[in-house]
Amino acid sequence: MTAAGETTGLSAQDLREIWPVLDAGERTQGFSLLEREEAVDFFQSLSAFSQAQIVEGLHGSERRLWLRSLAPDDAADLLQELDPELRTELLDELDPPTRHEVAALMAYAQDDAGGLMSPRYARIRSEQTADEAIRYLRRQARDQLETIYYAYVLDSTQRLLGVVSFRELFAAAPDRPVRELMSDSFIFAPDDMDQEEVARLLARHDLLALPVVDAAGRMKGIVTVDDIVDVVQEEATEDAHKAAGMQALDAPYLQTGMLEMVRKRAVWLTVLFLGQTLTASAMGHFEEEIASAVVLALFVPLIVSSGGNSGSQTTTLVIRAMALGEVQLRDWWRILRRELVSGLVLGAILATLGLLRIVAWQTFFGAYGDLGYLVAVTVAASLVGVVVVGTLCGAMLPFVLRLAGADPASASAPFVATLVDVSGVVIYFTLARLLLSGSLL
């Protein structure tokens, strides 16, 4: 299919630019127009999702060719994007050692260390000298190693004894044994460690690769930092989607089908909507107050949204700090105190603004009837209350979710806002009843 040697006028750069707006068929077609050499680079640089789209559109022999061009971890990722039937078919077409590697990788959850790792790492023996080890690595380098930056020292049962950086090996006296050069207090990831945790580990220790080890201490593969950049982006996107009150999309926005997108959004919108009907019910309880002082109704959106806004600030701060490992479960009390203070200060600021605004309109336009000044005080007091409730709810919800074993990032800003809205209505009208009883009401 790929027109090797023939000039078609379509460059990889052109294709990359229009890529996001193409559908699966157009992508395969465009890809087939690339010159062979460009196509190889281009294919490598695609996400597993895009690679799978292309492979699905190609015919038998082309299909095999492109699948085989990938490293085993990338091939496993691609296969996991396909229908089970096509997946089995393609897996069978790999050569036996690669098939074995790929199948082993697919046994791991895609977002575990095991699902991220490559089994092609550089291995040496502790009794080799630096020079022997370098020669041994030089032979391995001819195969497809993921990185030679670190060499892993294994015993005969594949247990990981130590790690030596290639640079150390390279700079050492040629006859020093590996045993003396390797570090045996290395950082490693268990094969079932979550990818977010793996990313944190790599970033914290500024490593280029991390060995993945099973429960028996046997080396299974390495996770390299370039895979982690994708993980971090992916997790940030997932968290952003959840923070906006929807399920995270699995594919790029423009590639997600309309039905899929509406479904992922409608679930949360419905939950939030049902939550908001509680606000309507809460307001129903105060219908009499509203009837005798319609002016009260005007400030309801102002009050509930101020609570929601301050709550969503807090919940985002806490979720992000948890994602970065800055905040642990045991810090809840510290956060609660901090947010109580923040809430009081922010509430006071908004209360002052609200007071000034209503008093001004009342004084100059007589906008709010006989008891405008009392209404101003009610609104201001409610603002302090609702902002404090907002910050405290926003601060605690991620902890509650984490304690319950759920993802703290599900404490989306709109979810917090909806929780706070009901309390906002109750606070506001209760205060109104107290402050205005006998006069306006």
State which of positions 16-55 bind a copy of itself (CB under 8 A): 17, 20-21, 44-45
Q: What is the DSSP letter of 4?
A: T
Q: What is the DSSP letter of 249?
A: P
Considering only residues 180 to 219 of the shown chain, the ones binding a copy of itself according to CB under 8 A are 199, 202-208
Torsion angle in degrees (nearest 10) through CA of 131, 137, 138, 144: -170
Considering only residues 112 to 171 of the shown chain, the ones binding a copy of itself according to CB under 8 A are 137-138, 141-142, 145, 147-149, 166-167, 170-171
Tokens 């609570």 belong to 307
Query: Pattern 309-348, binding to a copy of itself, x per CB under 8 A?
Result: xx-xx-xxxxxxx--x-xxx--x--x---x--xx--xx--
Select the span of 55-63, 98-106, 113-121, 238-246 touching a copy of itself (CB under 8 A).
Answer: 238-246
Q: Is 23 left (phi over 0), alpha (psi -120 to 50) or beta?
A: beta
Q: Among 58, 178, 182, 246, which residue interacts with a copy of itself (rule: CB under 8 A)?
A: 246
Q: What are the tokens at 219?
A: 């080396």
| Residue 313, CA distances (Å) to 84, 232, 339, 416, 417 in order | 42, 22, 11, 10, 10
Q: Among 93, 180, 226, 250, which residue interacts with a copy of itself (rule: CB under 8 A)?
A: 226
Considering only residues 354 to 413 of the shown chain, the ones binding a copy of itself according to CB under 8 A are 354, 357, 367, 413
Question: With respect to a copy of itself, which residue has the nearer C-beta, 25 or 174?
Answer: 174
Question: With respect to a copy of itself, which residue has the nearer C-beta, 20 or 25?
Answer: 20
Could you tell me how many helices (H) and strands (E) the chain has, helices first?
21, 6
Distance (Å, rounded) from C-alpha 169 to C-alpha 186? 16
User: Considering the complex, what minimum distance in angstroms separates the CB of residue 262 from a copy of itself?
Assistant: 5
Residue 149 burial (CB < 10 Å; 0-12/13-18/19+)? middle
Considering only residues 253 to 312 of the shown chain, the ones binding a copy of itself according to CB under 8 A are 253-254, 258, 261-262, 265-266, 268-270, 272-274, 276-277, 279-280, 283-284, 287, 290-291, 294-295, 297-302, 304-306, 308-310, 312
Considering only residues 85 to 114 of the shown chain, the ones binding a copy of itself according to CB under 8 A are none
The sign one gets for the Cα dihedral 106, 226, 250, 31 is negative
Q: Among 117, 228, 401, 436, which residue interacts with a copy of itself (rule: CB under 8 A)?
A: 228
Q: Among 91, 243, 389, 411, which residue interacts with a copy of itself (rule: CB under 8 A)?
A: 243
CB proximity list for 157: less than 8 A, separation 6 or greater: 218
Question: With respect to a copy of itself, which residue has the nearer C-beta, 107 or 262?
Answer: 262
Give the chain's largest Cα–Cα span: 96
Number of residues that bind a copy of itself (CB under 8 A): 112
- CA-wise closest residue to 163 among 192, 187, 198, 132: 187
Question: With respect to a copy of itself, which residue has the nearer C-beta, 3 or 208?
Answer: 208
User: Considering the complex, what minimum distance in angstroms separates the CB of residue 370 from a copy of itself?
Assistant: 14
